[in-house]
């Protein structure tokens, strides 16, 4: 009987390090497959349609109601200081800087991310990925890479739609319902929103979130246990891990952007 007995902590640390290593290798490989993937752009186009178009309804409706609430809350706050004419600026900055990218990423994780994880997990459970390897077809290049780049492209587009619809919703509540001057609403927005400092930061956030959410969804599906229970747990992990990653990265990116 050996005197050496590894502790549970040691096994857990080694297992986590191995998971990080596999995830890093997969991420680097997906990045290296950018060229071959874009040469077969039809596969990416289909994934943009699947991930983006099918998420458009929930993104649009959510953006509209977020704009409603933001305008309503913002008006009653600004009214205390006699600055209700700045409502358009408040709505626009709140959406393009923060709420647009973050809420879109959370919704994208719940709608498209779970679909990606379940699809890859079911292909693994049905041994379709193994069959592709037997036929000398790389499943990472043929299955994962187009989905990865499709999600990366779709995420900023959905965030832009969310912000645009939210601004329209803020205009409906602020101008049509409350009675804020329409000229002040749009002029304050036009004069106070900077293309690079505000819109550019929001676009950068949405791109980073697109990489993060899509990769987490694909990783969970690719590493899922090939059983119905394993696919179910992987789908749940996608929502939890992606949501926490988005919120954590949002804090880091915001701190970096305001410190520069």
Burial (Cβ within 10 Å: 0-12, 13-18, ≥19) of residue 116: buried
Q: How many beta carbons lie within 10 A of that of residue 244, not counting itself? A: 11
pTM: 0.90
Q: How many beta carbons lie within 10 A of that of residue 98, not counting itself? A: 15
**Gap between the Cα atoms of 227 and 202, Å rounded:** 39
Could you tell me the two tokens for 133? 């390897």
Cβ 45 vs Cβ 151: under 8 Å: no
Helix axes 114-125, 201-222, angle to 10 degrees: 20
Cβ 55 vs Cβ 156: under 8 Å: no
- Gyration radius of the chain over CA positions: 22
Render each residue's pLDDT in the chain as its tens digit; 260 residues.
455 455 667 777 788 888 888 899 999 999 999 998 899 899 999 999 999 888 899 999 999 999 999 999 999 999 888 888 889 999 999 999 999 999 999 999 999 999 999 999 999 888 888 888 888 888 899 999 999 999 999 999 999 999 999 999 999 999 999 988 899 899 989 888 888 888 999 999 999 999 999 999 999 999 988 888 999 999 999 999 999 999 999 999 999 987 76
């Amino acid at each position: 009987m050996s005197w050496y007995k590894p502790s549970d902590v040691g096994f857990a640390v080694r297992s986590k390090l191995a998971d990080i290593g596999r995830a890093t290798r997969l991420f680097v490989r997906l990045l290296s497959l950018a060229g071959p993937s874009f040469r077969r752009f039809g596969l990416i186009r289909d994934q943009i349609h699947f991930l983006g178009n099918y998420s458009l309804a929930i993104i649009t409706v959510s953006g509209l109601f977020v704009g409603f609430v933001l305008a309503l809350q913002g008006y009653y706050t600004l009214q205390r200081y006699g600055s209700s004419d700045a409502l358009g600026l408040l709505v626009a900055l709140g959406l393009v800087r923060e709420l647009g990218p973050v809420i879109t990423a959370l919704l994208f994780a719940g709608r498209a991310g779970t679909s990606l994880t379940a699809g890859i997990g079911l292909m693994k459970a049905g041994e379709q990925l193994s069959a592709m390897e037997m036929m000398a077809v790389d499943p990472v290049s043929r299955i994962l890479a187009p989905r990865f780049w499709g999600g990366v492209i779709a995420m900023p587009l959905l965030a832009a739609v969310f912000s645009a619809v939210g601004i329209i919703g803020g205009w409906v509540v602020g101008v049509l319902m409350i009675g804020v001057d329409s000229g002040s609403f749009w002029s304050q927005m036009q004069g106070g929103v900077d293309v690079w400092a505000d819109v550019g930061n929001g676009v950068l956030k949405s791109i980073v979130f697109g990489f993060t959410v899509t990769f987490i969804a694909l990783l969970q599906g690719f590493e899922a246990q090939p059983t119905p229970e394993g696919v179910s747990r992987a789908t749940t992990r996608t929502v939890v891990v992606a949501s926490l990653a988005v919120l954590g990265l949002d804090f880091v990116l915001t701190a970096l952007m305001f410190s520069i």
